[in-house]
A and B are shown apart, each in its own frame.
Chain A
C-alpha cells in the first residue's frame, strides 16, 4: 500500500489536505471530485498523480456537446453503411464498427490507470447521471455486441469541475470531494520555488506582494490565479524587470509592470487603472 501513497511531485506542491483526499480516493477506489478557482492546478493534479504513482493517464476532456455514451463507445453506423455499399467483408462483424471511448480504454488497461474527466460541469445536466453505474460498478454493457465490459483494475478517477453547473446528488454521493483553496503566501512561495528555482528572493517577495495586492482589489471579475502568477513571473524574468519596479511606494499607487498577464478582462484592467488613478490623486 505504501507505493499507493501520493505525496506530491517535484513539480507540484500538494497541501496536506489534498494529499489526504487523493490517498483516501485511491485507497477506497472512489472517484475524486476536485473543484477550485480556475488556475489552481485541478487538471494538473491528475497528471501528477499518474506521474507520482507511475500509472498511465487517460484523459477525457468534456465539452458542452459531449455525451456520456462517447466515453464508453460509439457505434460508427455510417462507416458500416458505406462499407456495405462497397461490399467489404468486415461489414459482417459489428464489432469492427464499435469505437472505444476513454472509459473503455481505461477499463481495459493492464495496470491500474488514472482517468481524468476534465471539466465535467461543461457537459449537459444529465451527463453525470448517465455515468452513475459506470463509476459505481466500473462496468458497462455494449448492446451491439452483447458484451459486458468490466474494469480489470478500478481506475483512479479524478473529476474536475468549475462550478458552472450543479452536479446531481446521486453522482456526488459516489465521489469524494476536495476543494482546492487559493494558496496562501507560504504555499505560493513553495509553488514558485518549484517552478523557478533560484529566483531572487527580493523579486519573489515584491512580486507576491504586488500579486496579493491585486487580488485584494474589490470587484474584480476574474481574480488572477496561480497559473497567471507563474506566467507573470516568467515574463518578469524574461524582461529582466528589477524588483524595485514592483515596489509600491505607498501601497496602492503603482501599476505593476506587464499586468496584462494577471488581468484578463478589459473591465478589470479599466477598474484597476481607475483605482490607481484615484489613489494617486488622493495621495497628492
Chain B
C-alpha cells in the first residue's frame, strides 16, 4: 500500500527518494505518531516533503490515495461521526428558507446523496489531469456551493479530530510555484552572473600570503591583508514601462527586486516602448527629469552588462523611423540608439516577458531580434538562465 503511495508521489512530481521512504517506515515502526490518518498525514509530510512548494502536490496525492481509507483508520482509532457533523453544519449555515428547501428535496440524507452523485458526474467530465477541480460548486444546491469534499472541509477544528481532512483544504496551493517565477528563483538564476573579485579596503587576513611573507622574512611575522571578495559584476538595467508592459508589471517587479538584492552595482533606467535619446530614473517625474542616453553611455564603462526588459511590442516604425516615437519627436530612429548602446556595451541581452512562441507573430519583435542578433530571451527562469550565459560568454 505504501509503495504505491510512494510511487504516486514520485509520479506527481514530489522529489522523494528511497532514503526518505525508508525513514518514513522507520518512523512508523518507532510509533512516532498514533494510528490515525491525521498523524500519518503529518508524519508523511514531515518526512517525505522537503519544500513547502510541494505540500500541495503531497496533499493531492494523499487525497487520491487515501480516499475512503479514513474509515479504516477510524475503525482503528476512535470512531468518527461525519454525517452528524455535516448535519450540524448545515443547520448552522443554512437559513430557514433553505432548510425548508432541503426538506422539500427529501431531507438531508437524500440531498447529500444527490449532491455526491452530481459531483461524481462532474468530476468525470472536468477532471483533466491530476488536478481536482472545484467546479462542483455550480450545482443547483444553491447555498452549498461546495462538493461533498468541500462540505466536509468544514469539519475543521477541534470538534472531531479524527475526521479532519486537512489535505482536502489544500492550503498550500499558492506555494506551488512550478509555473510562476518567484524572486527567489530569479535571484538564483541571476546568481550565475556572479564573478568574485577582490576590491576595496584590505581587511581580511591572507593566511597563505602571510606565511609566505613570514618565511621570506626569516621567520619574523609579516602580516598580509587582502580585500574581501565581492561580486564585481556591474549591471545596467533598461526597463520598458507603461502601455503594453502593464500586463507584465508583476514579473518585471520581481526581476527588479531580485536584481536589486543580487548586484551591488546595479543602475537602472526606464524607457517607453523603445530606447531613444533620453531615458529617466523616476517614473513620476519622467517628463521633467530626463537623462540623455549619451550621458548614460559616458557615465558607465563597457564593463557593465546591459539588460533590456521590454515586450518590444509596438509599431515597427517606432523602431526604424526617425520621429517614430509615439511620445515625442525623435531625430534619430530607435534602431540607431539601440546600435549605439550595443556598441557601448558589448555584453547585452534583451529579456522579453511575452511568451516566446508569440514572438513570430509580432513584427516589431522580429525587427528588434534582428537588431539584437538573436540576443533576446524570454523572461522566464529558463530564459534568464540563457541570458546570463550569453552575458558571461566571451
Taking beta carbons and an 8 Å cutoff, which residues of A are in contact with B? 16-17, 20-21, 23-25, 27-28, 30, 33, 35, 77-78, 81-82, 85, 125, 163-166, 169, 172-179, 181, 186
Q: Does B371 contact A (CB under 8 A)?
A: no
B42 touching A21, Cβ below 8 Å: yes
Taking beta carbons and an 8 Å cutoff, which residues of B are in contact with A? 15, 17, 19-20, 23, 26-27, 30, 32-33, 38-39, 42-43, 45-47, 49-52, 55, 157, 171-172, 184-185, 187-188, 191, 205, 207, 210-211, 214, 219-221
A70 CB to closest chain B CB, in angstroms?
14
Main SS of the interface on chain B?
Answer: helix
A109 CB to closest chain B CB, in angstroms?
23
Q: A20-B32, A82-B221 are in contact. Are A172 and B50 (CB under 8 A)?
A: yes
A21 to B46, CA, bound (A): 6
For the complex of A and B, 5 pairs with smallest distance between CB atoms:
A179-B52, A172-B50, A21-B46, A17-B42, A20-B42
A181 to B45, CA, bound (A): 14
A28 touching B23, Cβ below 8 Å: yes
Residue among B43, B46, B211 with max Cβ neighbours from chain A (10 Å): B46
A166 touching B50, Cβ below 8 Å: no
User: Nearest chain-B residue to A163 (Cβ)?
Assistant: B184
List A contacts of B27 (CB < 8 A). 24, 27-28
User: Nearest chain-A residue to B184 (Cβ)?
Assistant: A163
A175 touching B30, Cβ below 8 Å: no
A181 touching B17, Cβ below 8 Å: no
A179 to B53, CA, bound (A): 10
A121 to B68, CA, bound (A): 40
B171 touching A181, Cβ below 8 Å: yes
B32 touching A27, Cβ below 8 Å: yes
A166 touching B42, Cβ below 8 Å: no
A24 touching B221, Cβ below 8 Å: no
List B contacts of A174 (CB < 8 A). 19
A253 CB to closest chain B CB, in angstroms?
26
A45 CB to closest chain B CB, in angstroms?
14
List B contacts of A20 (CB < 8 A). 32-33, 39, 42-43, 46
User: Nearest chain-B residue to A30 (Cβ)?
Assistant: B23
List A contacts of B49 (CB < 8 A). 177
B47 touching A81, Cβ below 8 Å: no
Contact residue among A16, A30, A81, A85 (Cβ-Cβ distance under 8 Å from B42): A16
Contact residue among A21, A24, A175 (Cβ-Cβ distance under 8 Å from B50): A175
A78 touching B210, Cβ below 8 Å: yes
